[in-house]
Amino acid sequence: MWQIKVDTEKCDGCGECAESCPGEVYELVENKATVVNEEECHGCHTCEDVCEADAITVEEKE
């Protein structure tokens, strides 16, 4: 399982994370990335890679 954190202060609402995520983990809510399906996270880190604002962190749950 993976834990996803979105820093809403950094998030600029570009939507790249939502568009690129194979698990459909994100939706934009009020122009901010919001985790809506954390259990579908594949741990691929694509969202971190495409986030130019460095607003997303994906870590393995202990």
* Res 21: pLDDT: 98
Q: Could you tell me the CATH number of the domain that includes residue 38?
A: 3.30.70.20
Q: Which residues of the chain have pLDDT under 70?
A: none
d(CA 37, CA 28) in angstroms, rounded, equals 12
What pLDDT score was predicted for residue 41? Answer: 97
How many distinct structural domains can be found in the chain?
1
The parent domain of residue 26 ranges over 2-60
Give the pLDDT confidence score for residue 62 in this predicted structure.
Answer: 81
pLDDT of residue 58: 98
C-alpha dist (Å) from residue 31 to 1, 2, 6, 21: 27, 24, 13, 17
